[in-house]
Amino acid sequence: MNSKQLVDLHENEAYLKSRNLVDDRHLPYYIRWLQRFLTGPGGDPSLSAADAHRVFLERLDQSGSVPEWQVRQASRAIELLHLPDTVRSFLAELALKRGVAASTQNQAFCALLFLMREVLGRDTACLSSLRAKSGPHLPVVFSEKIIRRGKGDKDRTTLLPGCIVPLLKAHLDRIREIHQRELAAGRGDVELPYELATKYPRAAWEWAWQYVFPAKGVSVDPRSGAIRRPHLMENVLQRVMKQALVASGIPKHAGVHTLRHAFATHLLMRGVNIREVQEYLGHKSVETTMIYTHVMRSLASSAVSPLDALERGG
C-alpha cells in the first residue's frame, strides 16, 4: 500500500470506531480485509471503485477457501471504505471532533439520506446500514448504583459496599463545598459529554454534573481554553495502588485492574450467580466471565501435595 492508502486505512479505522459501526471484536478483521483489498484490486488505478469491489469479491468466491459469511464481511468493509467523501467527512466531523451522541449522528444521517435519495436522486445503497450505535443505557432511578458511559459506552449497575457509604457521603459533602467556592469565584463548570453544553448552556455549573473525584487543582482545558477542575487522572489511582501494595508487604505485581479480578472471583466464591457477575463486569458473553471459575477452583481447592502427605506420614 502507498502512503495515501495507509492514511485512508487509518482514517477509516478511526471513523468506524467513532461511530460504533463495527463491533470492537470484529474491527481487526474488517481492517485486514481492507488491507487485502488495497494491496489487490483496490490499489489498481485502472479499476473504478465499483469494479475493484466486484473483482475482489469474485476472487474470494472463486478461491473456494473463504466462507460466504466472510465474503459478506469483506464486502461490507469495502462499502464502508467507499462512502462518498462528503458524507463520511461530515459524519466524522460530528463523531470525532464535535463528539455528538449517537442519536444526534443518526438524525444527521437520516437528513443526508433524504437529501441524497429524494432531492439529488443519488444511489444510497452503501449508506443503508451506517447508523451509529450506542451501548445500552439504563434509565435514571433513585435506588440503583449505576456507572454511566463505562467501557464500550455501556451503563451498568454495580455493588456499593455499605461500609463505605458514610465515608462517601462525607467525601461528597467536601466536594460540594469546593464546588460552592468555585461558583463564588466565577468558575465551577465541568466539560459535558457530547454536545450537551450547547443543548443545556447552564448544566455545566450544576451540582449533578460535577465529578465525584475531581482533581486537586484547576487547569486550562487544551481544547476549549476554559479554566476548569478536571477529574482525577487514572495515573493517580495507579500510584496510590502501588503505594498500598508496598505498605501492605504483598509481594505481587498487581494494579488497579487486579481489584476487578478479585471482585469477580470472590463474588463467585460466595455463591453469586455467574450471570449476575457477568452483568456487573459488563461482559457480552458469559464465557468471558467463566475464566474466574477456574481461578475460584484453584483458590478453593483442598488438594494437598503428595510431598506434604509424605512429610505427615500419610
Q: What is the pLDDT of residues 183-239, one digit of tens each?
A: 998 889 998 877 788 888 899 999 999 999 999 888 888 777 888 888 998 889 899
What are the distances in angstroms from CA 90 to CA 4, 34, 84, 109, 167?
Answer: 20, 22, 10, 9, 47
Q: In the predicted model, is pLDDT for residue 146 greater than 60?
A: no
For the segment 93-145, what is each residue's pLDDT rounded down to a tens digit? 666 566 677 777 777 777 777 766 666 565 555 555 555 555 554 444 334 45
Q: In the predicted model, is pLDDT for residue 313 greater than 90?
A: no
Place of cell 484453584: 298
| Residue 29 is assigned to a structural domain of this protein | yes
| Residue 242 is assigned to a structural domain of this protein | no
Same domain, 168 and 97: no
Same domain, 38 and 120: yes
Q: Lowest mean pLDDT: which of 14-28, 64-78, 240-254? A: 14-28
Rounded Cα distance between 25 and 17, Å, is 11
> Who contacts 252 (Cβ-Cβ below 8 Å, separation ≥6)?
245, 258
Same domain, 152 and 197: yes
Share of the chain above pLDDT 90, in %: 15
| Residue 18 is assigned to a structural domain of this protein | yes
Helix (H, G, I), strand (E, B) or coil at 35: helix
| Residue 240 is assigned to a structural domain of this protein | no
Residues 21/132, Cβ–Cβ less than 8 Å: yes
What is residue 143's predicted lDDT score, i.e. its pLDDT?
42
Residue type, 5: Q
Q: How many domains would you assign to the chain?
A: 3
Q: Is the dihedral of CA 192, 198, 200, 202 positive or negative?
A: positive
Rounded Cα distance between 88 and 68, Å, is 28
Angle, helices 3-18/68-81, rounded to nearest 10 degrees: 100
- Quick one: pLDDT band at residue 273, thresholds 50, 70, 90? very high
Same domain, 151 and 121: no
Place of cell 455467574: 274
Kindly state the average pLDDT of the residues 47-54.
82
| Residue 36 is assigned to a structural domain of this protein | yes
Share of the chain above pLDDT 70, in %: 73
Same domain, 155 and 213: yes
Radius of gyration of the chain (CA): 26
Kindly state the average pLDDT of the residues 260-287.
88
| Residue 307 is assigned to a structural domain of this protein | no
Kindly state the average pLDDT of the residues 159-170.
90
Same domain, 211 and 284: no
Q: What is the pTM of this model?
A: 0.53
User: Which range marks the domain in which residue 290 is found?
Assistant: 249-300
- Quick one: pLDDT band at residue 166, thresholds 50, 70, 90? very high
Same domain, 123 and 162: no
Q: In the predicted model, is pLDDT for residue 3 greater than 70?
A: no
